[in-house]
Amino acid sequence: MNTKQVQNPETPVPKTPQMNERDFLNDMLATEKYMTLSYSVFLHEASHQALYQDMMNIFTETQNCQRELYELMFKKGWYKLEAADAQKLQQTYQQFQGYQSQLPHSSHTKQ
């Protein structure tokens, strides 16, 4: 099977032992991903409404920062994605449609 990559032309980086721009951005992106996951756990367990709202604001800012880093890396060709196969997408969609009909709160079930 032939997989197609979705990416922009790669911006060249020097091959030296020192960290380069791509290395720094990759490190920052990994950190932002870790932080959003950690904030998400906190938000699920927060019992104090004001603290929850403060952390939700921080989470949103962090998530936006993560997205901007991802977009920059993708633009520079440093973040590659595999193009989704349309047939596989349709199969997965149909599979989950079947699961949805089995859920007790599904609109497909009679009450």
In a domain, residue 88? The reply is yes
Q: Which of 5-9, 20-24, 62-66 has the least mean pLDDT?
A: 5-9
pTM flag (> 0.85): no
DSSP 2: -
The one-letter amino acid code at 93 reads Y
pLDDT tens digit string along 43-97?
999 999 999 999 999 999 999 999 999 999 999 999 888 888 888 888 888 888 8
Whether the Cβ atoms of residue 7 and residue 81 lie closer than 8 Å to each other: yes
Range of the domain at 47: 18-100
Count how many domains the chain has.
Answer: 1
In a domain, residue 4? The reply is no
Q: Residue 101: helix, strand or coil by DSSP?
A: coil
In a domain, residue 11? The reply is no
In a domain, residue 67? The reply is yes
